[in-house]
Amino acid sequence: MRLVLGQLVDALGDAVSTDAATLVAAQADKSGHRSASAPLAVVSARSIADVQSVMRIATATGTPVVTRGAGTGLAGGAIASAGEIVLDVARMDRILEISEADQLAVVEPGILNGRFNEILAARGFWFAPDPASRAISTVGGNIATNAGGLLCAKYGVTRDAVLGLKVVLADGRLLDLGHRSVKGVTGLDLTALMVGSEGLLGVIVEATVRIRRAVPGTVATIAAYFPSVTDAAAAAAAITSAGIQPAVMELMDSASLEAAATLLALPGISTGEAHLVVQTDGPAAQEEANAAYAVIGSLGGRAALSTDLVEGERLLAVRRSMHPAMERLGTTLIEDVSVPRSALPAMFAEIVRIEQHYGIRIPTVAHAGDGNLHPNFVFSGTEVPEKVWQAADELFGAALRLGGTLTGEHGIGILKKRWLGLELGDDQLDLQRQIKQVFDPLGILNPGKVF
Amino acid sequence: MRLVLGQLVDALGDAVSTDAATLVAAQADKSGHRSASAPLAVVSARSIADVQSVMRIATATGTPVVTRGAGTGLAGGAIASAGEIVLDVARMDRILEISEADQLAVVEPGILNGRFNEILAARGFWFAPDPASRAISTVGGNIATNAGGLLCAKYGVTRDAVLGLKVVLADGRLLDLGHRSVKGVTGLDLTALMVGSEGLLGVIVEATVRIRRAVPGTVATIAAYFPSVTDAAAAAAAITSAGIQPAVMELMDSASLEAAATLLALPGISTGEAHLVVQTDGPAAQEEANAAYAVIGSLGGRAALSTDLVEGERLLAVRRSMHPAMERLGTTLIEDVSVPRSALPAMFAEIVRIEQHYGIRIPTVAHAGDGNLHPNFVFSGTEVPEKVWQAADELFGAALRLGGTLTGEHGIGILKKRWLGLELGDDQLDLQRQIKQVFDPLGILNPGKVF
């Protein structure tokens, strides 16, 4: 270990930190999970060459490496433990190119999604992946987890926005994957394979991503209240069935709404009520919003609609208060199952069943446009109680039975490892492990995560 | 060989054909290329179980297998030779499910893209991947090549439309990849890896694909003529830069236009003129078309615009006559390089240079919205002359230098194998070969293709 540290310091100088606070910070992410012991060192890479140096030393010495950006993950995917090198790419945060003509940008992995979007906005462009963490999460982390967000039904997931990647392999070699053109089918699509690979296959050191021209037209926002979550889910389904394509369609069940109403001192919310927020954009925004408003009314919702930006923000306030509202209740494990849109009511029914069976409340928000639910397990203390894991286990089983998935956008990391086989099956799991081995024969990249 | 044939007949009965005409048909595709010798047998699979039987026998006997759909490939990717089993999935052509609520369909691989779209259209939906071959190519083949088409800049490539796949592995095991939900990030994205894998990794036996609601609003079509291809390319770039997102934007250079004009007996075309066709759709179709029309006029184009469907079809006639026009000139090798949009003028300049150097004409059409060019090498006879390959070699080199790719949508197959390393580099090529080996340790799946 001392040998490894010496080699790192020799090669990378003051980019290597063994400062206690720095090491402790790398033991946790935003999942609430924390590793049992501090890593060996944190290397704050400034360049591709730095990353290559780290990986060469790691390979030569068989030392595990955990790549880390802003540490905002929700699955423990970038948490480090004893004996591991943390390869921090947060300082590699430059925008190397913005091509308006080719509608692409080339960025380093550490740039924050929100910062990147601010710079693009000034030029009339935007980067579509919009995880709720966008203000604090990095583009590299978004790519490593194939991050989703609120806009995915209309604007796609992160994978759809990645054209090419530069990746440093476990042994320090630099790969250049993908292309700058819209199309390209030369060989196997390793760019797509890297997206969502959670640090298992290589270190993403540069990304060529699609940028979009700012959407013209107004943005219309509708905030609606329904007597029950089933009614709200039915309205969401009816909106999609009516041929309306909202940019945002967010659903809060009664436990979520109750917590938000308490936090915001919101008047007039009855017990059991659920909340649905819809935003439309583009040239047909007003027309689509009117149609959605009519659907909501016909299904028993009371709603407000506005195309005013300030008023629109006010209508979003309840949904935006979800996280602070949860934080007031206790420690939160934010789950992330995803089901086909039509299965949303069934999934909410399963959540009610699990709540009753375990005698707990599971406030749940859903990206209703794409079927991704975030059930929040709230508990006291810092360790997830076994009862919560049992309830989560039932939740995962239900999502899979409904044709869904364990994780819509957060990833497997450490927290969902034990359920991976349940979704993939043994044959696929075995193939995935073998692919991991092709990229990382020594098993030094983010060991103990995912598999 | 006789042993293999016996096992196939025992297991699959009259699904196995050794009829001479059937074998000969499997030696070619639409690339113009033909293998030197007939395959062992063609098995026309009717079910997943049939495919599994074939693969089990192939693995037990070490016999190579070439999966084949409609045989419309343009890269020789589904061409079979002596000693190979052709696994024909064209008869597996059922639509197993259409879910309007979940905006997805589950299909067998042999369904024709055009047929699938006819059935969807009757329900107000469509499947976005639109290769020019859509009337005759299968959805399975579209997935195996990650097919592109005319609409990709606005509506994405095939990969963007695939949610999940059932795949039979080389040893006959059945894998279930992906999910029915819009989002899902459990483990490595093997669904995306299968898309475009050209039969190297497994046999696609079922696909869960996104379907879209029919685009509301009018379709506006503009047909424009410019003094030169450089002017037409500049107009295409200016249309994109103006924030217009055409559904279709097709460019024909002067050699293409000349051939089409001859075929259609088109009056009033001057030497050197180039053709640009633009279609806009959606709620802003008319507005976008007006803006594009103004851009074209300001850059010296003479154009006609119509929102009438019949007139729109008439305006597309010149572009649609490209293939028949080429067929009258001789045998055609259709190339498929792709470059960043901004490099289109430079790529056209390279083509002119190569034409002059080799004393040949290379009529070229381009999907100008996404930078994908199809230079047509025309020759007499059935064998591609070495001079044409030399010219193609220069073409590929130029596309790569401009930040592009060897193949935008046709694939590598047999025809571009020798250039694969030029684009991927040795390290990536080596990784790709190792991944192939994970899926197919005996090397029996489509041997001799791509790698």
pLDDT digits (tens, 9 = 90+) for B15-59: 999 999 999 999 999 998 899 999 999 999 999 999 999 999 999
Quick one: which of B252, B283, B246, B323 has its CA closest to B74? Answer: B323
Name all contacts of A314-318 with Cβ < 8 Å and 24+ positions apart.
Answer: A315/A221, A315/A222, A315/A223, A315/A277, A316/A221, A316/A223, A316/A277, A316/A279, A317/A264, A318/A223, A318/A252, A318/A257, A318/A260, A318/A261, A318/A264, A318/A266, A318/A275, A318/A277
- Return d(Cα B166, Cα B178) in angstroms, integer: 9
User: Quick check: A103 and B145 CB within 8 A?
Assistant: no
Where are chain B's structural domains?
Answer: 2-88, 95-213, 220-401
Separation in Å, CA of A214 to nearest CA in chain B: 9
Nearest CA in chain B to A159: B160
Note which residues in 401-420 of chain A have CB less than 8 A from chain B. Answer: 403-412, 416, 420
Q: Which two tokens stand for residue A14?
A: 């003051």
The residues, ordered by sequence, that sit 6+ positions from B233 with a Cβ below 8 Å of its Cβ are B251, B344, B345, B348, B366, B368
Q: Cβ of B212 under 8 Å from any chain A Cβ?
A: no
Provide CATH code, domain A330-440. Answer: 3.30.70.2740
The residues, ordered by sequence, that sit 6+ positions from A186 with a Cβ below 8 Å of its Cβ are A179, B405, B406, B407, B412, B416, B420, B423, B424
Separation in Å, CA of A311 to nearest CA in chain B: 25
What backbone phi and psi angles, to 5 degrees, belong to A388? -65, -40
Least confident of A105-114, A340-349, B82-91, B374-383: B374-383
**Burial of residue A115, with CB atoms counted within 10 A of its CB: 0-12 exposed, 13-18 middle, 19 or more buried:** middle
What class, spelled out in words, does domain A2-88 have in CATH? alpha beta
Nearest CA in chain B to A181: B340
- Return d(Cα B330, Cα B232) in angstroms, integer: 27
Helices (H), B40-189: 48-61, 113-121, 139-144, 152-155
- Please write the tens of the pLDDT for every residue from B391-410: 999 999 999 999 999 999 99
Element (H, E) at B222: strand B220-226
Residues of B in contact with A156 (CB under 8 A): 156, 160
- Return d(Cα A79, Cα A413) in angstroms, integer: 9
Helix/strand number for chain A, H first, E second: 15, 18
Check residue B384 and give its pLDDT.
86
- Return d(Cα B183, Cα A343) in angstroms, integer: 14
Point out the residues of chain A with pLDDT beneath 50: none
Instruction: For strands B95-99 and B125-126, give the pairing.
Output: unpaired
- Please write the tens of the pLDDT for every residue from B125-174: 999 999 999 999 999 999 999 999 999 999 999 999 999 999 999 999 99
Q: Say which of A99, A342, A407 has its CB closest to residue B99.
A: A342
- Please write the tens of the pLDDT for every residue from B266-316: 988 999 999 999 999 999 999 999 999 999 999 999 999 999 999 999 999
Q: Which of A145, A181, A338, A420 to mutate to test the interface with B (most CBs of B within 10 A)?
A: A181
Q: Cβ of B145 under 8 Å from any chain A Cβ?
A: yes
Burial code (b: 16+ CB inside 10 Å, e: under 16) for A366-380 equals bbbbbbbbbbbbbbe
Q: Which two tokens stand for residue A158?
A: 């992160």
Note the Cα A301 to chain centre separation in Å.
30
Residues of B in contact with A284 (CB under 8 A): 216-217, 282-284
What backbone phi and psi angles, to 5 degrees, belong to A448? 85, -5
User: Quick check: A181 and B412 CB within 8 A?
Assistant: no
- Return d(Cα B52, Cα B31) in angstroms, integer: 29
Q: Which two tokens stand for residue A176?
A: 């250049």
Q: Cβ of A424 under 8 Å from any chain B Cβ?
A: yes
The residues, ordered by sequence, that sit 6+ positions from A343 with a Cβ below 8 Å of its Cβ are A371, A402, A403, A404
- Please write the tens of the pLDDT for every residue from B427-448: 999 999 999 999 999 999 999 9
Q: Which two tokens stand for residue A100?
A: 């308006």
Question: Can you tell me which residue has the tokens 């195996």?
Answer: B144
Higher pLDDT, B216 or B157: B157
Q: Is the model's pLDDT at B2 over the cut of 80?
A: no
What DSSP character marks residue A418? G
Helices B420-439 and A420-439, packing angle to 10 deg: 130
Note which residues in 359-398 of chain A have CB less than 8 A from chain B. Answer: 367, 369-372
Q: Could you report how far apart the first and last alpha carbons of chain B are, in Å?
A: 25
Provide CATH code, domain B95-213. Answer: 3.30.465.10
Q: Which of B130, B181, B189, B451 to mutate to test the interface with A (most CBs of A within 10 A)?
A: B181
Mapped onto helix, strand or coil, the DSSP state of residue B214 is coil
| Cα–Cα distance list, B177 to A404, B6, B191, B373 (Å) | 12, 33, 6, 33
Q: Cβ of A123 under 8 Å from any chain B Cβ?
A: no
Check residue B6 and give its pLDDT.
97
User: Quick check: B216 and A181 CB within 8 A?
Assistant: no
- Return d(Cα A137, Cα A410) in angstroms, integer: 12
Separation in Å, CA of B18 to nearest CA in chain A: 32
Element (H, E) at A9: helix A2-12
Residues of B in contact with A237 (CB under 8 A): 101
Instruction: For strands B16-17 and B41-44, give the pairing.
Output: antiparallel
Residues of B in contact with A371 (CB under 8 A): 102, 181-183
User: Quick check: B429 and A187 CB within 8 A?
Assistant: yes
Q: Cβ of A152 under 8 Å from any chain B Cβ?
A: yes
The residues, ordered by sequence, that sit 6+ positions from A122 with a Cβ below 8 Å of its Cβ are none
Q: Say which of B102, B217, B439 has its CB closest to residue A342.
A: B102
Note which residues in 4-43 of chain B have CB less than 8 A from chain A. Answer: none
Mapped onto helix, strand or coil, the DSSP state of residue B56 is helix
In this structure, are residues A139 and A111 in contact, taking their beta carbons and an 8 Å threshold?
A: yes
Least confident of A384-388, B12-16, B98-102: A384-388
Q: Say which of B153, B193, B284 has its CB closest to residue A283.
A: B284
Mean pLDDT over each residue of chain B, to the nearest integer: 95
Separation in Å, CA of A22 to nearest CA in chain B: 29
Q: Is the model's pLDDT at B90 over the cut of 90?
A: yes
What class, spelled out in words, does domain B220-401 have in CATH? alpha beta
- Return d(Cα B78, Cα B33) in angstroms, integer: 11
Ranges of beta strands (E only) in A187-235 are 203-210, 212-213, 220-226
- Return d(Cα B245, Cα A282) in angstroms, integer: 12
User: Quick check: B339 and A284 CB within 8 A?
Assistant: no
| Cα–Cα distance list, A97 to A105, A106, A108, A174, A211 (Å) | 5, 5, 10, 20, 11
Q: Could you report how far apart the first and last alpha carbons of chain A are, in Å?
A: 25
- Percentage of chain B exceeding pLDDT 70: 100
The reply to whether B95-213 shares the fold of B2-88 is no
Residues of B in contact with A410 (CB under 8 A): 185
Q: Cβ of B192 under 8 Å from any chain A Cβ?
A: yes
- Return d(Cα A47, Cα A31) in angstroms, integer: 28
The CATH number of A216-323 is which of 3.40.50.720, 3.30.70.3450, 3.40.50.2300, 3.10.50.40? 3.30.70.3450
Please compute, for residue A45, the number of CA atoms within 13 A of its CA located in the half-sphere on the CB side: 30
Check residue A97 and give its pLDDT.
98
